[in-house]
Amino acid sequence: MSNPDPALIEDYRQSHLGKGGQYDANLAAQPFDNYMAAWERRHLEEILWSIAPGGVGRALDFACGTGRITETVATFARESIGVDVSPTMLEIARSKCPATRFELVDLTSADPDVGQFDLITSFRFFGNAQDALRDAALDAIVRRLAANGRFILNSHRNPRALYARLQQLTGAADSGMDLHLPKLRALLGKHGLRIVLLRPIGAWMFRDRLMLDTPADSARARRFEALFGGSWLAPIAPDVIVVASHA
């Protein structure tokens, strides 16, 4: 599982300042992250087709990084904006998504008039960020989410996942993981959001060997994801996509 750099853990805002050049390659090189990234994209596309078959008006990708998720969102939106605090991550994003406007801005401390959004996404941010930053980010997001808008995020560092529990037993676990589903649900609720859809990923995954033998695009992965894709398995899945709306 990918962890934030412990030296920078005090403020997640600092975590990716110089990482733009390596981020995509690092993600692809880690079997866990590579698998989750592929399924995050697949689910996100499917969810967007189901909730907005005709596309959405305005979309914001918060903490967009290198544009991994922005690329998908941009094809569904008439106007898309990506924001991040890392210039090197944004440089890669700009090269991938020419139709998207990218802003180097921290919406948790600055308040530019970027308007309201029908869709806001934020991937691989909430699982890593500290509680105070999670709260500040949700404040910024909720204020900009249109009345009927949807907020889609993922949480990929679930300490209650089967996979993480086994790593805890063998001492290989990352002790910094704290965003289990009840905590995420409470956090969203505190900011006036309610969960309307959950898509667990990798709930079947309990040891590395099984994951290494199951490439994300294999028939076996599709079979496993279909079998273990019920929302009731989200509490024990290592990664989950969450769709939320105003409560």
Ligand X SMILES: C[S@@+](CC[C@H](N)C(=O)[O-])C[C@H]1O[C@@H](n2cnc3c(N)ncnc32)[C@H](O)[C@@H]1O
- Residues that bind ligand X in the complex, under the rule CB under 6 A: 12-13, 15-16, 63-65, 68-69, 83-86, 89, 106, 108, 123-125
To ligand X, the closest distance from the beta carbon of 69 in angstroms equals 5
To ligand X, the closest distance from the beta carbon of 247 in angstroms equals 24
To ligand X, the closest distance from the beta carbon of 227 in angstroms equals 26
Q: Return the number of the residue (13 or 144) whose C-beta is nearest ligand X.
A: 13
Q: Return the number of the residue (15 or 214) whose C-beta is nearest ligand X.
A: 15
CA distance 31 to 101: 31
CA angle 12, 240, 42 (to 5 degrees): 105
Q: Return the number of the residue (43 or 68) whose C-beta is nearest ligand X.
A: 68
Span between the terminal Cα atoms of the chain, in Å: 32
CB 58 within 8 A of CB 77: yes
Residue 226: Cβ-neighbour burial (10 angstroms; 0-12, 13-18, 19+): exposed
To ligand X, the closest distance from the beta carbon of 94 in angstroms equals 13
To ligand X, the closest distance from the beta carbon of 219 in angstroms equals 26
Q: Return the number of the residue (124 or 206) whose C-beta is nearest ligand X.
A: 124
* 124: region left, alpha or beta (phi > 0 left; psi from -120 to 50 alpha): left
Could you please report the per-residue DSSP string of 95-145? Answer: HH-TTSEEEE--TTT-------EEEEEE-SSTTTS-HHHHHHHHHHHHHHE
To ligand X, the closest distance from the beta carbon of 6 in angstroms equals 15
Q: Which residues, including other chains, have CB under 8 Å from residue 229's CB and lie 6 or more apart?
A: 199, 200, 203
> Residue 51 is which amino acid?
I
Q: Return the number of the residue (106 or 208) whose C-beta is nearest ligand X.
A: 106
Give the distance between the most distant pair of CA atoms in the chain: 49
Q: Return the number of the residue (80 or 86) whose C-beta is nearest ligand X.
A: 86
Q: Return the number of the residue (89 or 97) whose C-beta is nearest ligand X.
A: 89
To ligand X, the closest distance from the beta carbon of 54 in angstroms equals 25
CA distance 57 to 147: 13
| Residue nearest to ligand X according to CB distances in the complex | 65
Q: How far, CA to CA in Å, does 136 sit from each of 129, 190, 194?
A: 10, 12, 17
